[in-house]
Chains A and B, each alone.
Chain A
Amino acid sequence: MAGRPEGGASRIRSRVMHFGPHLLLAALEGLVTSAVLALTALGLSLVFGVMRIVNVAHGEFFMLGAVLAWAVSTAISGHPAVGFVAALVIAPLLVGLAAFLAEWLVLRRLNYNPESTIVATIGMLYIIQQLALTFYGPEARPVEPPFSYRILLPWFGYSGYKLSVVAASAILLVLTWLVLTRTKVGLIMRATQYDRETAQAFGIPVERVYAGVFAIGAMLAAIAAVLIVPISQAHYLMGQDPLLLSFIVVIIGGLGSLRGTVVAAILIGLSDGIISVFFSPTLAKIIATLVVAMVLVFRPQGLFGTAPR
């Protein structure tokens, strides 16, 4: 995701740069991809883990976050940082609201049947995509980064913003982990994930937990999109790649395992960044998709997960 726009430039630079620095650059690009991917995939993984449904519209919530970030930051004048911070707050909240409504109006009525919810979220995918095309248009539009500091390494300069994306993502991941393992909200979520019926018997409002989890999952994707949009640009079709990559990460990492998701995101992000600097991005995608399909076929619990109960 993040590596693409820079890919062409780095390929040209490779003529003057040696292998080591080139690899470092590819790794840094990969790290940025990993950071964004980890957040997006965590959202997907939470929804699957707790609600046992596959949200095919997850990539569209990502796209919606980016498009709304553009709308918010252009509506607000002044220093780019002000607009960006506003976008970082407002866009995920709006996406969360949209996801909450979708859960309330559609998924709940389907009683979370796995197959019906897949069909329904496919429907949502098309609706969100078409609405974005109608109201936002087919153009790719940039959002100005909040600051444009470049860190000078001995071989090349590197965007400080990109490194701050990695830091922000790491902080958010740690926060999510703390919420899940150290708070009452997290305990309720884990209880619902572990056994829905017992949780209900103990007075946990399962439906409200589901609505909340679905909204939080979409918000994580939206936050990831707001972070990436100053690097990549907002476009109505930008949700496709993150969706597929998130699936890959969630499957490799083992469904519902936070640690697995993060490790897999770093693995996939780095290898995607490095492979697509040295080879064609299409080939990189083909290999990654095929490998993951094979993992699902021969090791369905993921590389780091344990066998299902």
Chain B
Amino acid sequence: MRDASPAKIYALHVGVIALLFALNFVLPDYHQGLFARIMALAVFAMGYNLLFGYVGLLSLGHAMFFSAGLYGAGLTVYHLGWGVAEAFIAGIACGALLALVIGLLALRTSGVAFMIVTMMFAQVFYLLILYFAAWTGGDQGLVVQQAARTLNLDGAPLDLTNPTVRYMSALALFAVVLIATLAVVRSRFGRVLVAVRENEERTKMLGYDTVANKLAAVVLSGTICAASGAAYALLFGYIGSSFASVQYSILPLLWVLLGGAATTLGPLIGTLFMYYVTDITSGFTSAYLLIVGVALILLVLFAPKGILGSIRQRWLGWLP
């Protein structure tokens, strides 16, 4: 990071986006759909990475931000008949508000207590979805009808269920969040966050308001995760309580650990890798959770820096 020119770094990221754009025209139908899903979920992982990788705060409750976006967008379409754009904004707003409240409470704790508190708030959120099953559909979930998932751009309807439109929408969100994350971590604010991770006391002593910075990071992270959830609801048309369960708090942690915490492209690589491992192995085993479990243990034991983290350490020191 020290000797690389910003141009080189931005070129790499734009290159990745261009590659994903080109893949749309090459990939077979099945993989095109899978990639759209992976990009939407990589946004979730990027949001998680911002907090876990850069600030060093391990949350076990990010499923609540993802599902705040999911339900915020899905329920406004389903019950209120809102348009896609308004619903997407509603989802993001729900996530941002929730992240602000949770951040104000949970940041009073640190370390292990922070993990448990976030996990418990997420559990409350999950149980609330089950409790209000009359509106949320409970564990059965709801299907957002195809007709409702059309974006009206000045009279030109954009059908989000069309594979190419879906792929491009997911890519657009992914690109915006990727570049935004890159800008954030290279900014003054991003450097303060890393300083908090490395030594909070020292950062405080240097005159930075660490609590305010951490709160901003929680809100930003929650908002990005909510954007992922909202996009997921609108692009794939299904909302269900399983997205709020503990498992969906663990998955972004796994993706980020796998791809490399505190790397901008790690979340994408981790999500992509894990999705394809699951997809390939599901051919001969249904033991999906076993793979997740073994992957987590092997990662913390042998590659705590993840794929990109190890590459950065060995060869490419300039990777952001």
Contact = CB atoms under 8 A, between A and B. Distances in A.
Contacts of A218: none
Given A123-B295, A244-B123, A293-B121, A282 B290 contact: no
Given A116-B304, A292-B120, A123 B296 contact: yes
A110 B299 CA distance: 11
B131 A282 contact: yes
B297 interface: yes
B115 interface: yes
Interface string A145-187: 0000000000000000000000000000000000000000000
A297 interface: yes
Taking chain B's interface residues, is the majority helix, strand, or loop, or is none over half, making it mixed? helix
A114 interface: yes
Given A293-B121, A297-B108, A118 B292 contact: no
Nearest to B304: A116
A127 B112 contact: no
A96 B300 CA distance: 23
Nearest to B104: A297
Interface stretch (A32-40, A71-79, A129-137, A220-228): A129-137
Interface in A258-309: 280, 282-283, 285-286, 289-290, 292-294, 296-298, 300
B130 interface: yes
Nearest to A129: B289
B117 A119 contact: no
Interface in B257-309: 257, 287-290, 292-297, 299-301, 304
A296 B112 contact: no
B179 to A, nearest CB: 29
Contact of B109 (A116, A129, A289, A296): A296
B105 interface: yes
B143 interface: no
A125 B108 contact: no
Given A114-B112, A123-B295, A296-B117, A290 B290 contact: no
A54 B290 CA distance: 21
Contacts, number: 103
B301 A118 contact: no
Contacts of A298: 108
Contacts of A127: 289-290, 293-294, 297
A140 interface: no
B123 to A, nearest CB: 5
B289 A286 contact: no
A118 B250 CA distance: 11
Contacts of A15: none
Contact of A251 (B108, B116, B130, B294): B116
A101 interface: no
A54 B109 contact: no
B70 interface: no
A106 interface: yes
Contacts of B250: 122
Nearest to A116: B300
Interface string A93-125: 000000000000010011000111011101111
Contacts of B116: 54, 247, 251, 296
Given A106-B301, A116-B304, A123-B294, A282 B130 contact: yes
Taking chain A's interface residues, is the majority helix, strand, or loop, or is none over half, making it mixed? helix
Given A106-B297, A286-B131, A54 B112 contact: yes
A126 interface: yes
Interface string A20-36: 00000000000000000
Contact of B127 (A106, A122, A285, A300): A285
B36 interface: no
B266 to A, nearest CB: 16
B287 A297 contact: no
B168 to A, nearest CB: 34
B61 to A, nearest CB: 10
A54 to B, nearest CB: 5
B128 interface: yes
Interface string B198-233: 000000000000000000000000000000000000
Interface in B1-47: none
B292 A126 contact: yes
A282 B292 CA distance: 28
Contacts of B297: 106, 120, 123-124, 127
Contacts of A110: 300-301
A114 B111 CA distance: 8
A235 B230 CA distance: 34
A298 B111 CA distance: 15
Contacts of A280: 131
Nearest to A114: B112
A266 B177 CA distance: 48
Contacts of B109: 296-297, 300
Contacts of B176: none
A115 B128 CA distance: 28
Interface in A39-94: 54
Given A119-B257, A125-B293, A293-B121, 8 more contacts: A106-B297, A119-B296, A120-B300, A124-B297, A130-B293, A133-B289, A244-B120, A285-B127
8 closest pairs, A vs B, by CB? A126-B293, A123-B296, A127-B293, A123-B297, A130-B290, A293-B120, A130-B289, A123-B293
